[in-house]
Amino acid sequence: MYFNKRPTIKEVAQAAGVSTQTVSRVINDRPDVAEETRIKVNQVIEELGYQPSALARSLIQQRSYSLGVVTAGLKFMGPSRTLNGITFQSEKMGYSLLLKELPRFDTEYIKPLLQNLLAHHVDGILWAVPEVGDNRAWIHTELSDLPVPIVFLTMENQPGLTIISFDNFLAGRMATEHLLRQGYRHIGHISGPLDWWESRQRKAGWKAALYAAGIEGLESHCAEGNWSSSSGEVAFKQLLNQYPEIDAVFVGNDQMAAPVVQISYQGDIAIPQQLGVVGVDGLPEAAYYQSPLTTIVLDQYLLGCTAVDEIVHSIERSRVQSDHESQRTIILSPELLVRESSNRARILEPETS
């Protein structure tokens, strides 16, 4: 197969009538170049299809233009969509990715993984691993002192760390308040695994909304799943047994809500007349459930894009993570998307409340 010869920096300089040093300054966005010259050189670069050497740029600027990404649970929609956003935004901003997926949260996996990323001289790290169980203290102790900037996704706010997350408490509250507005009063909850911070926050939002309406959210009105459809089936059957008055259910994610809809149809429980159902995530397939699912949309793609923006901003500031002036928490808001599964009144509400 024939490929055209790649143009060189010398050929760009000759075509633009400047020195190779000037072309290099333009490529590296140096300020000591006249605007007219910059425009001319960039035009020649585009015309010739010149691609600067990433290695040469890295050596000159002492940056690799690469980001390490540590993730987990890519079989689930949320983490995979977050990675889509990270990939898109990284390419847009001129960074390559070095991806590492944790099989489980265990320091025996994490330490060599981090050493490998640092050995590849990544400019920053995106930590897209959920805050689960007892890993909170370990994260703060071990990861807050890395020699490169690090941004954490979907974690509870911690002083000294840069964190980007959703308002999961608001997600639970919004879902429950919507069901209350539709006239439901016996609202149960199927949570995700309660060693996950997101699950605890969504459950707390459910309880708070009920409390504000003068209704007590009892533990007998809850069942715990593990995000999977099969766990949603088990949890819903448990709820039906221990809370027979139930007339609505807030489900911790859309995937666990699928069997809730299916079992209701099989058991002649009319949705939404006899049972209202609301999930979380904004899973595209949820629009095609037997009763299209009302859901709290969490824009995971936006989460990934925002994380890249923040880590690149940290890199550009040329500060390490220990500089607490550069640390902040960014909270993304959920949105309510009303569909048939909870729309008793058949009148669509605004997507936010």
Rounded mean pLDDT for each run of 10 residues along the chain, 353 residues in total: 64 88 79 87 85 56 81 84 95 91 76 87 90 68 81 84 94 98 97 93 98 95 96 97 96 97 95 97 94 97 96 75 64 96 71 46
Is residue 20 one of the residues assigned to a domain? yes
Residue 23 is assigned to a structural domain of this protein? yes
- The 3-state DSSP class for residue 329 equals strand
Burial label for 189, CB within 10 Å (0-12, 13-18, 19+), is buried
Residue 15 belongs to domain with CATH number: 1.10.260.40
Question: Is residue 31 located within the same domain as residue 98?
Answer: no
Whether residues 283 and 176 share a domain: the answer is: yes
128 within 8 A of 71, measured Cβ to Cβ? yes
Closest to 254 measured CA to CA, from 82, 75, 77, 73: 77
What does the block give as tokens for 139? 């994260």
- Do 187 and 288 lie in one domain? The reply is yes
Three-class SS of residue 337?
Answer: strand
pLDDT at 52: 67
| Closest residue by Cα to residue 189 from 248, 231, 263, 274 | 248
Tell me the DSSP string of 22-78. HHHHHHTT-SSS-HHHHHHHHHHHHHHT----HHHHHHHHT---EEEEEE--TTSHH
- Residue 4: predicted pLDDT: 53
Exposure letters 77-96 (e unless 16+ CB within 10 A, then b): bbbebbbebbbebbeeeebe
pLDDT of residue 255: 95
Residues 248 and 316 placed together within one structural domain of the fold: no
Q: 86 with 160, same domain?
A: yes
- Both 159 and 174 in a single domain? no
For the domain that residue 270 is a member of, what is the CATH number?
3.40.50.2300
Whether residue 244 has a cis bond before it, omega within 30° of 0: no
Q: Using CA atoms, how far apart are residues 260 and 263, in angstroms rounded to an integer? A: 5
98 - beta bridge partners? 68
Q: How many residues does the chain have?
A: 353
The answer to whether position 229 is within a domain reads yes
> Within this chain, do residues 254 and 181 fall inside the same structural domain, yes or no?
yes
Q: Which of 76, 96, 93 is nearest to 306 (CA)?
A: 93
* Residue 297: per-residue pLDDT: 98
- Alpha-carbon gap, residue 145 to 123, rounded angstroms: 15
The total of structural domains in the chain comes to 3
Angle at 223 between CA 258 and CA 334, to 5 degrees: 60
Do 177 and 294 lie in one domain? The reply is yes
In this structure, the answer to whether residues 191 and 292 fall within a common structural domain is yes
In this prediction the pTM is 0.79
Are residues 277 and 313 located together in one domain of the fold?
Answer: no
Residue 177's domain comprises 168-298+335-342
Claim to verify: residue 146 and residue 172 sit in the same structural domain = no
Structural domain contains residue 349 = no
